[in-house]
Structures are given as structure tokens and as C-alpha cells.
């Protein structure tokens, strides 16, 4: 005599096999969430990635009538990552008045800018007035207070504060022809990782 499933199980009991399917579905969902978490899918983007994603186009920023701060950075740069929360806070404070542009030195698209602005170490910050004219450069990581002082001077059109590693920039003889200073055409471009 074979047992046939009861078409009307007692209240509170699930039909045979349904409980197993529900457990398998719950386990699959848990594994999917765990996989996303392990791959970073559930973590909000880090400040450096958020800044890079929302960064305006470089040439547009220089032409929009607002002062511009350009950071040359790399994803692997620990100093860039450490400075990113302060950069993000500064960008939020001055959003709409100051353009903050991030250019990744590992992206070949930015090679002409790397050469033009002689990027040979990161983080490098280049400062441009509202007319898009270069007014200074900062080499190395900056604290939140230093970033605020630099951005305030840029917004007010006053000279950049005298901080170590900060200086004014100027066109060097031959820069228009693609030759900068003593490096000359034979020296070739300096790579950001060369610290040359």
C-alpha cells in the first residue's frame, strides 16, 4: 500500500518539498548578499572614487568662470586616499563656487595634461583662477585646514598661502612649443611614478 500525499495538509504545515525550496531560496539569497559584500558591492564608494566620479570635465571647468582645483591622483596612491575625505568635505563646502577636478595619472587620456603640468609626483594639486589661468601648485598630501586655506585664497583671488610644497606657476620659455625649461625635447616626459 503506497502513501499518497494528503492534498489538504493540517493547518500550519507546509506541503512536502516546499520547506526545502524555501530554505534553498533563503540560502541562495544569503550567499548572493555575502558575495556582493565580499566584492565591495554593499559598501558605499570611498571618498576618492566619489570625487572622481562627480568630477567635472577638465576643459569645461577651466572655462566656466569659476576657480578650479585639479588633483592629479592614482587609485593606488595612499596619500591621495588619505587626503580624499578632506578634499570631499572642501568640495561640498564650496560646491557651485569652486570646481574640483580629479585626473587619474594612470589614465592615458590625461597624458597631455600630465606633460603640460609637469606631474612627477602625486598627489599634485594645480590651482586655476576664474579665468582658467594657472596660479599655483601644491605637491604632496594636504590637511583639511591647508585645503581650506588654499581653496579660500583661490575663491577670494588672493595669493596662495605660504605652505611647504606650494608655489606659484609660470610659463617657462619654450612651453608653447612643447619644451619646458631645461628638460628640453630630448629629455622626454617625466612619468608620475618616476618622482624625477
**pLDDT tens figures, 82-92:** 999 999 999 99
Mean pLDDT, all residues of the chain: 81
pLDDT at 165: 81
**pLDDT tens, 32-64?**
777 665 654 555 578 899 999 999 999 999 999
> What DSSP designation does 78 have?
H
Q: Give 15-19's long-range contacts (Cβ < 8 A, gap of 24+).
A: none
Indicate if 165 belongs to the active site.
no
Asked if omega into 123 is within 30° of 0 (cis), the reply is yes
pLDDT at 70: 97
- Please report the domains of the chain, with CATH numbers, ordered by start residue: 47-171 (3.40.30.10)
Q: Residue 178: which region, alpha, beta or left (left: phi > 0; alpha: psi -120 to 50)?
A: left
Please identify which of the residues 77, 90, 101, 154 carries the catalytic annotation: 77
pLDDT at 31: 83
pLDDT at 38: 61
Please identify which of the residues 51, 80, 84, 125 carries the catalytic annotation: 80
For the entire predicted model, the pTM comes to: 0.65
Indicate if 33 belongs to the active site.
no
pLDDT at 115: 96
**pLDDT tens, 8-22?**
555 566 566 888 888
CB 127 within 8 A of CB 134: yes
pLDDT at 21: 86
Amino acid at each position: 500500500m503506497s502513501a499518497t500525499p494528503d492534498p489538504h495538509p493540517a493547518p500550519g504545515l507546509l506541503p512536502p518539498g516546499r520547506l526545502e525550496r524555501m530554505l534553498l531560496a533563503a540560502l541562495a539569497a544569503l550567499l548572493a548578499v555575502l558575495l556582493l559584500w565580499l566584492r565591495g558591492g554593499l559598501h558605499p564608494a570611498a571618498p576618492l572614487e566619489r570625487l572622481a566620479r562627480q568630477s567635472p570635465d577638465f576643459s569645461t571647468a577651466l572655462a566656466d568662470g569659476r576657480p578650479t582645483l585639479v588633483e592629479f591622483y592614482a587609485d593606488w596612491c595612499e596619500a591621495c586616499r588619505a587626503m580624499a575625505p578632506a578634499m570631499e568635505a572642501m568640495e561640498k563646502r564650496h560646491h557651485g563656487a569652486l570646481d574640483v577636478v580629479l585626473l587619474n595619472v594612470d589614465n592615458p587620456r590625461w597624458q597631455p595634461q600630465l606633460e603640460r603640468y609637469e606631474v612627477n609626483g602625486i598627489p599634485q594639486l594645480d590651482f586655476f583662477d576664474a579665468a582658467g589661468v594657472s596660479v599655483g601648485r601644491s605637491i604632496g598630501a594636504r590637511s583639511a585646514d591647508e585645503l581650506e586655506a588654499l581653496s579660500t585664497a583661490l575663491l577670494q583671488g588672493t595669493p596662495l598661502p605660504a605652505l611647504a610644497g606650494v608655489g606659484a606657476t609660470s610659463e617657462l620659455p619654450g612651453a608653447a612649443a612643447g619644451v619646458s625649461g631645461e628638460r628640453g625635447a630630448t629629455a622626454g616626459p617625466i612619468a608620475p611614478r618616476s618622482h624625477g
